[in-house]
Structure 1
Amino acid sequence: MKKEFDYVITLRRPDAVLFNFISQLMLFLSLLAFVYTAIYAPKPFGYYFAIISILLIATWMYARFFSKSEYVSYKIPLVIAALGWLYEAGVYKLVAVLLGVAFLLEKQVKFAEEIGFDSEGLTFNSFPSKSYKWNDLANVVLKDGIITLDFRNNKIIQKELDSDVSGDLEKEFNEFCSRKLKEQHA
């Protein structure tokens, strides 16, 4: 059952340049290994498997290179490369595991974090999710595209929002938080 929130704030998406670079490097090295396998494969099946992997990854990379999209996902080629490495014998299966881990981590690394606010408190949609009750907080303020969470234990979290918020919505949100904090501290 999905929880309903009064307000959901989307935070700025994290910079994934390093993760993208590592993914591209792993895919490039995989392509080189598959080309080597295609040339020197002792079995015909290995040759065809390597050629198919090369074509699929290279086609995907070519399409992404000319894409104007801001968000780039490497999930499909990482899975193809992992399957290609699974075919290889010996310790190369470890490379397949590393590519599989990169596949699993990509969504979490590139995911824009959200904070949901309701009558009970607030919840971060991170993995694992973090929830706080209103009585854990001293103050919550949304101003100029920055959310500030001031905790009673002197911990402060400030995060930049993904998009601009209108003045009216900012005022409404701040009043909601102020009212919930007063109810808890009364």
Structure 2
Amino acid sequence: MKLYPYVIELKRSSFRLLDFISQLLLLISLSAFTYALFEGLPVNKMAIYLSAGGIIGWWVYCLIQNRKEQIPYYRWGIFLACLGWWYLPNGGWICTVYLLAGFFEKQAKFPEELAFDQDEIVVNSLPKKHIYWEELNNVVIKDGLLTIDFKNNKLLQKEIQSGSNAKDEQDFNEFCRNRLQATA
């Protein structure tokens, strides 16, 4: 694993819409499972009960996390819903949708970070994006705002998470200035 001298975490946006969609998926699943049980559909009742109980338990856990002002990850509840859908008649394709939603929910909430080293800047997206110093005119942090100026006239400006001070900004800016001069 490569170590980077500077890792800058960008400010997080609100996850309210993503959380709403995740909760809606869980509610739809619980409704479908309840319907399947009351209508007497040919299902594995034990699997449906376990899935529904797990979803409710995880949902409560996520609500507690949210109340503590921590980021709730609904993916385990979504995976449990996926398991329940698997046991419903013709639920395999819905199971696939839930499986994908569970994987993407975690990635969507992952903090966006940029890692800087002597050779490149790495953006921790899926897939990882590499920006080489030769592609840049300037990189600077000022007043909590990261600015990356590309040679192709593209400009990237993002707010960074609080926690850096003027000395950190000065050290980072000096590092970037030296890297840009070395590649010029």
C-alpha distance in 2, partners of 1:112/1:14?
10
Tell me what 1:22 maps to: 21
Aligned length: 182
- 1:63-108 alpha-carbon deviations (Å, 9 max, x no partner): 3223324200011111110010001122x21111111011110121
Tell me what 1:174 maps to: 173
The one-letter amino acid paired with 1:182 is Q
* Higher mean displacement: 10-19 or 144-153: 10-19
Structure-1-length-normalised TM-score = 0.91
The one-letter amino acid paired with 1:167 is A
CA contact (8 A) 1:38 1:51 kept: no
Tell me what 1:105 maps to: 104
Query: SS at the partner of 1:14?
Result: coil
**Unmatched segments (≥5 aa) in structure 1:** none
Tell me what 1:118 maps to: 117
C-alpha distance in 2, partners of 1:38/1:120?
59
Q: How does 1:145-184 map to 2 (within 5 A)?
A: 145-184=144-183
Tell me what 1:51 maps to: 49
Tell me what 2:135 maps to: 136
CA contact (8 A) 1:56 1:77 kept: yes
Query: SS at the partner of 2:44?
Result: helix
C-alpha distance in 1, partners of 2:129/2:61?
37
How far did residue 14 of structure 1 move? 3.3
CA contact (8 A) 2:55 2:80 kept: yes
Verify: 1:8 aligned to 2:28, yes or no.
Answer: no
Tell me what 1:96 maps to: 95
C-alpha distance in 2, partners of 1:133/1:63?
42
What percent identity do the matched residue pairs reach?
37
CA contact (8 A) 1:145 1:164 kept: no
Query: SS at the partner of 1:66?
Result: helix
C-alpha distance in 2, partners of 1:179/1:76?
45
How far did residue 6 of structure 1 move? 1.4
CA contact (8 A) 1:38 1:48 kept: no
C-alpha distance in 2, partners of 1:114/1:34?
39
CA contact (8 A) 2:121 2:131 kept: yes
How far did residue 123 of structure 1 move? 1.1
How far did residue 42 of structure 1 move? 4.8
Tell me what 2:83 maps to: 83
> What is the RMSD computed on CA atoms of the aligned residues?
1.5
**Unmatched segments (≥5 aa) in structure 2:** none
Task: After the TM superposition, list the runs of 4 or more consecutive aligned residues in structure 1 that deviate by more than 3 angstroms.
Answer: none
The one-letter amino acid paired with 2:18 is F
CA contact (8 A) 2:48 2:84 kept: yes
How far did residue 49 of structure 1 move? 2.2
